[in-house]
């Protein structure tokens, strides 16, 4: 699974436009509120860093995946949340400020946690250890894609609230169109990979995806967080940075194993569809609850 113009150029550019649109809907107060109530951040990070690798390990063991495919799935579990989670959370009316905060913190912690999880997976599934440093440049890229356009959008809103309000709806629609185009392009690019390997990896990737979203949504609710925060954490946990996982698996300077890139590639296609269904379901439930409220 090799990087292409889609993953190297078009997807980051589209995400930059999307994050600009998200910035138009945010203020500094949104982030201050997150920092004032850190329980949501702690719950989200606990789900991401502790529960998810355990869930993924159980699925990889019980599904009978080959050693390289199992390591590839664990690599995905150890990767931070994808930038697209911020858009999905925005469309599903989640707490986007919490998403951005989790993405930023996660990206830093991943420098330490991802090599640990992957190295333990290599030892368990393949009987070998390997030093896997995560390049700092990858973390810088994530920050650049996430924070820079968001900061520009927030600046526009602060200096020209009227312009930000007028741009809000058109940019949201444009972001949704970008997302559809990315899904179509990704499927077209990796269709052969999807058809060839889906019988081996598809059910495991789907099970891990559904389990990730369930953990990300229901654990926060059990911890008595608000529904908006639960939606945000559900998206953050369920949408992984598949591009980063593919790059680590394929890079000749890191794992240099194309088979390990297969689970992240298939998961990336699945998650775009299931996340849309998840967002639709939680909003449908919200609409139903609102409709039954006494007048």
Digit-coded pLDDT (tens) for 78-115: 887 766 788 788 888 888 888 888 877 777 677 678 88
The Cβ of residue 202 has, within 10 Å, a number of other Cβ atoms equal to: 16
Q: Is the pTM of this model over 0.85?
A: no
Tokens of 192: 């052969």
Provide the pLDDT confidence category of residue 208 given band limits of 50, 70 and 90.
Answer: very high
Q: Between the CA of residue 25 and those of 163, 164, 176, 281, what are the distances in Å?
A: 11, 8, 15, 23
Q: What's the confidence (pLDDT) of residue 33?
A: 67
Q: What's the confidence (pLDDT) of residue 55?
A: 95
State the average pLDDT over residues 200-208: 91
Residue 66 dihedral angles phi and psi, to the nearest 5°: -65, 160
For the cut 50, the answer to whether the pLDDT of residue 293 exceeds it is: no
Q: What's the confidence (pLDDT) of residue 231?
A: 93
Query: How far apart are alpha carbons 95 and 108 in whole angstroms?
Result: 21
The residue with tokens 């589209």 is 14
Q: Between the CA of residue 172 and those of 41, 145, 276, what are the distances in Å?
A: 26, 18, 15
Domains recognised in the chain with CATH numbers: 5-282 (1.20.1530.20)
Let me know: does 77 contact 121? Beta carbons within 8 Å.
Answer: no
What mean pLDDT is reported for the chain? 78
Q: Between the CA of residue 128 and those of 53, 122, 138, 250, 251, what are the distances in Å?
A: 19, 6, 25, 18, 18
Q: What's the confidence (pLDDT) of residue 207?
A: 95
Pairwise pLDDT comparison (180 vs 78), residue with the higher score: 78
Query: How far apart are alpha carbons 65 and 58 in whole angstroms?
Result: 11
List Cβ neighbours of 127 (8 Å cut-off, separation of 6 or more).
none
State the average pLDDT over residues 42-46: 92
């Amino acid at each position: 699974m090799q990087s292409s113009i889609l993953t190297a150029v078009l997807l980051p550019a589209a995400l930059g436009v999307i994050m600009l649109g998200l910035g138009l809907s945010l203020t500094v107060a949104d982030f201050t509120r997150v920092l004032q109530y850190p329980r949501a951040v702690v719950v989200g990070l606990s789900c991401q860093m502790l529960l998810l690798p355990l869930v993924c390990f159980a699925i990889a063991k019980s599904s009978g995946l080959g050693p390289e495919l199992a390591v590839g799935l664990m690599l995905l579990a150890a990767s931070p949340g994808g930038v697209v989670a911020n858009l999905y959370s925005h469309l599903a009316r989640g707490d986007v400020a919490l998403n951005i905060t989790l993405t930023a913190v996660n990206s830093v912690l991943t420098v330490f946690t991802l090599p640990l999880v992957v190295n333990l997976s290599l030892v368990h599934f393949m009987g070998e250890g390997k030093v896997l440093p995560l390049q700092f440049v990858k973390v810088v890229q994530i920050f650049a894609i996430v924070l820079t356009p968001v900061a520009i959008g927030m600046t526009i809103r602060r200096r020209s609230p009227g312009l930000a309000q007028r741009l809000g709806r058109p940019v949201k629609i444009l972001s949704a169109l970008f997302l559809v185009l990315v899904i179509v392009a990704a499927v077209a690019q990796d269709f052969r990979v999807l058809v060839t390997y889906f019988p081996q990896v598809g059910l495991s990737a789907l099970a891990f995806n559904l389990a990730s979203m369930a953990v990300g949504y229901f654990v926060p609710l059990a911890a008595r967080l608000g529904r908006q925060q639960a939606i945000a954490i559900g998206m953050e946990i369920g949408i992984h940075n598949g591009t980063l996982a593919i790059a680590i698996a394929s890079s000749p300077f890191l794992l240099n194993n194309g088979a390990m890139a297969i689970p992240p590639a298939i998961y990336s296609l699945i998650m775009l569809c299931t996340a849309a269904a998840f967002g639709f379901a939680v909003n449908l439930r919200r609409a139903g609850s609102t409709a039954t409220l006494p007048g």
